[in-house]
Structures are given as structure tokens and as C-alpha cells.
Amino acid sequence: MLTPAERKQIAIDDLEYWFTAAQVYLKTAQYLKNEKNLNEAAFVLHQATERAYAAVLLVFTSYKPRTHNLGKLLHKCREFAPELADVFPKKPKEEKYLFELLKKAYIDARYKKNYKITEEQLNILIDRVKQTHAIVERICHEQIGHIGFR
């Protein structure tokens, strides 16, 4: 059994590793978009999102599922941060489609010639991932602050 101090240090280390990677991927996605490499930008934006969700799960549970499915990861994260679901609303249909584009980017943007994302769609998704990162950073720091005091 870990002491609260050990658990807190692990959470700090997990946040630093996974959230720092998420931020690097977000910056890389913006660069690739500016270079008009839209499909690669979408894939990297998927990684920025996946790593942010991983940070939440590790800080709150010390566990990261072995999946790249953003829908499944988001579902697990909502338990700790319900507001994350509001970043990618499921209605109207156009909103749901944007999240599906991001989810599918993990495979399709790299391997399927018919995967298409517009610069406008990418701009919207970049803004949404920035919102996700802001929420993740806040809730993870709050959680770390509470470790050992419950």
C-alpha cells in the first residue's frame, strides 16, 4: 500500500509526463495545420486528446486503459470531470461528426486515402482540444492537491 505522499508523487509524475506530451502534440498539430498537412495534424491532435485523457485517468485512478478509442476514454474521464463531455457535444449531428473525425484520425488519417478533414474542422477541433487541456490541467491539479487529505 502506498503512502499518501507516494501516491501524490506518482500522480504528479503521471501528470507531468502525460500532460506535457499532450501539450507537445497540440503544438505539433497546430504546426502541421499551418503547413497544410491536415491529415497528419488530425492524427497528432488525436494524440493530444488521448494523452490528456490518460493524464486524468492516471491522476484519479492510477490506471490507464489500453485503448486509443477517444469515446471510451472520454466516457471513463467523465466520472471525474463531467464538463469534459460538454467540450464535444453529441448534438447537433455536425458536432457529433467533429468528434468522430477526431476519433477516426488515429487510424484513418494515417492509413486511409479517403479520410478528409478541412482546415475549418481542424481549427474547431484544435480549439476544443485546448478547452479539454484547460479542464484537464485544472482538475488534475485540484485532485493532486486533495491527495492525502481525504
Could you tell me the residue ranges of all domains in the chain? 4-146
Average pLDDT of every residue of the chain: 95
DSSP assignments along 8-57, one per residue = HHHHHHHHHHHHHHHHHHHHHHHHHHHTT-HHHHHHHHHHHHHHHHHHHH
- What pLDDT is attached to residue 3? 92
Q: What is the pLDDT of residues 20-57, one digit of tens each?
A: 999 999 999 999 999 999 999 999 999 999 999 999 99
Average pLDDT over residues 90-111: 94
Percentage with pLDDT > 90 across the chain? 91
Q: State the pLDDT at residue 148.
A: 73
The architecture in CATH of the region 4-146 reads: Up-down Bundle (1.20)
